[in-house]
């Protein structure tokens, strides 16, 4: 993904002007990819069976390939020699852990029961989505919003560790224990912790290692300036290509279900919209309140609002089946998340412009 740091008074400092041509119209490309995927799923007989036949960690191989391609270029941009400055930011680290692993799952649980009290399959699917904290696409949104790349890498790694440790425990709590305490209907969920570990290792471990090695070896061979000025712009667009490819395949797999049940999709979409809005705006306000700079505030907000729908879909399909209501909830997740978070990228960039103007005004105003 291409990003510049133009002065705030220049045309390029405007939210749209700051993005490359590809990134500027990302919402359009995503809508086209969604439509293409749904069309392929409807028009090509047997495509779903072919796409779902080969899997990695419970996820269709084409989707796995798209995710790896999507994540690698952004992780190759990370300045790994600066990571210590992130881990030393206790406010950022503590806020991320609390929001992602205490607030996020609780908010989704409450919204799922509030909006879907009569639809237990969809409700369970939404709760699973809320438990799967983002470790993939958040890197794309963060980069587009000019967030802190190093902070994003650290928070994604932190989420990945907690994903392995906490997913099973929280699933048991929110789907079994807490409903019993509240006198609500209880849902039984059985899933493999080993499958979660495999997914994390594949979808984060491989591109993270590849990005780290590319940065180290690239700087050693080319020098930092040449690496960042010439090499990174060449591989940057592949993150977008991987994202669009993933969306096409994902919607090809579930397009028929989506188009056959528009009313159900709408009911699932409503709590998701509320969830993304509450998590992003609430976390952005928190980052500002505790004194984080814009770039780390944006990173904190996007890591809080995003969810690991790949893992949620994998768990739902492996546990309940590809045609289950739980799996449909997982698929509706990116249908809503992708355009909403794209819109929030523009909101975030607009606020960044205001913050920059404010800071500049303070700097030139005599005290």
Mean pLDDT of the chain: 81
Are the C-beta atoms of residues 32 and 25 closer than 8 Å to each other?
no
Q: Where are the domains of the chain?
A: 26-354
Q: What pTM value is reported for the model? A: 0.76
Does 204 or 77 have the greater pLDDT score? Answer: 77
| Helix ranges restricted to H, the chain | 21-24, 26-43, 47-53, 61-77, 83-87, 90-98, 104-115, 120-131, 138-144, 149-172, 178-181, 193-200, 206-222, 224-226, 232-235, 237-260, 262-289, 294-305, 309-320, 325-364
Across residues 264-284, what is the average pLDDT? 95
Cα-to-chain-centroid distance, residue 111: 19
Q: Note the pLDDT of residue 190.
A: 64
pLDDT at residue 191 tops 80? no
pLDDT band of residue 6 (cuts 50, 70, 90) is very low
The per-residue pLDDT for range 9-67, each reduced to its tens digit, is 443 444 444 556 666 677 688 789 888 988 888 888 777 777 767 776 566 788 778 87
Could you report how far apart the first and last alpha carbons of the chain are, in Å?
A: 40
pLDDT at residue 99 tops 90? yes
Q: Note the pLDDT of residue 10.
A: 41
Q: Note the pLDDT of residue 23.
A: 64
Across residues 333-356, what is the average pLDDT? 84
Among 44-48, 135-139, 146-150, name the most confident range. Answer: 146-150
pLDDT at residue 8 tops 70? no
Tell me which of 133-137, 277-281, 285-289 is least confident: 133-137
pLDDT band of residue 72 (cuts 50, 70, 90) is confident
The per-residue pLDDT for range 157-185, each reduced to its tens digit, is 788 778 777 888 888 889 888 988 998 87
pLDDT at residue 76 tops 60? yes
Which of 2.40.50.140, 1.20.1530.20, 1.10.600.10, 1.20.210.10 is the CATH number of 26-354? 1.20.1530.20
Structure tokens at 136: 């993939």
Structure tokens at 324: 């289950």
Tell me which of 96-100, 122-126, 141-145 is least confident: 141-145
Across residues 117-127, what is the average pLDDT? 91
Across residues 249-270, what is the average pLDDT? 83
Does 312 or 223 have the greater pLDDT score? Answer: 223
Structure tokens at 303: 């890591």
pLDDT band of residue 270 (cuts 50, 70, 90) is very high
Q: Note the pLDDT of residue 252.
A: 82
pLDDT at residue 73 tops 80? yes
Q: Do the bridges between strand 59-60 and strand 55-56 make them parallel or antiparallel, or are there none, so unpaired?
A: antiparallel
Q: Note the pLDDT of residue 188.
A: 60
pLDDT at residue 298 tops 90? yes
pLDDT at residue 343 tops 70? yes
pLDDT at residue 296 tops 90? yes
pLDDT at residue 95 tops 90? yes
- Give the Cα separation of 82 and 293 in Å (integer): 16
The per-residue pLDDT for range 213-242, each reduced to its tens digit, is 999 999 999 999 999 899 988 998 888 888
């Amino acid at each position: 993904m291409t990003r510049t740091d133009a002065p705030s008074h220049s045309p390029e400092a405007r939210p749209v002007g700051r993005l490359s041509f590809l990134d500027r119209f990302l919402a359009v490309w995503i809508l086209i990819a969604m439509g293409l995927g749904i069309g392929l799923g409807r028009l090509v007989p047997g495509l779903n069976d072919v796409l779902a036949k080969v899997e990695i960690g419970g996820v269709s191989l084409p989707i796995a390939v798209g995710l790896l391609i999507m994540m690698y270029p952004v992780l190759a941009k990370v300045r790994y020699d600066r990571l210590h400055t992130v881990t030393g930011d206790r406010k950022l680290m503590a806020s991320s852990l609390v929001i992602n692993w205490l607030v996020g799952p609780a908010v989704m649980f409450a919204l799922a029961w509030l909006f879907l009290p009569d639809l237990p399959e969809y409700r369970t699917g939404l709760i699973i989505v809320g438990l799967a904290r983002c470790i993939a696409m958040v890197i794309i949104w963060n980069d587009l919003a000019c967030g802190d790349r190093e902070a994003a890498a650290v928070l994604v790694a932190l989420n990945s560790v907690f994903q392995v440790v906490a997913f099973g425990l929280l699933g048991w709590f929110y789907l079994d224990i807490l409903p019993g305490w509240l006198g609500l209907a209880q849902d039984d969920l059985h899933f493999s912790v080993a499958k979660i570990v495999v997914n994390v290792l594949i979808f984060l471990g491989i591109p993270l290692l590849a990005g780290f090695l590319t940065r180290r070896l690239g700087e050693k061979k080319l020098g930092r300036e040449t690496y960042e000025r010439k090499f990174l712009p060449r591989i940057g667009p592949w993150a977008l290509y991987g994202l669009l490819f993933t969306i096409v395949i994902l919607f090809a797999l579930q397009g028929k279900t989506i188009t056959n049940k528009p009313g159900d999709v709408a009911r699932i979409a409503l709590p998701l919209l509320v969830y993304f809005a509450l998590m992003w705006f609430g976390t952005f306000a928190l980052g500002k309140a505790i004194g984080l700079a814009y770039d780390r505030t944006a990173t904190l907000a996007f890591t809080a609002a995003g969810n690991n729908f790949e893992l949620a879909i994998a768990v739902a399909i492996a546990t309940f089946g590809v045609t289950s209501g739980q799996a449909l909830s997982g698929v509706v997740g990116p249908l809503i998340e992708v355009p909403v978070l794209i819109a929030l990228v523009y909101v975030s960039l607009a606020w960044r412009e205001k913050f920059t103007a404010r800071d500049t005004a303070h700097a030139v105003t005599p005290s």
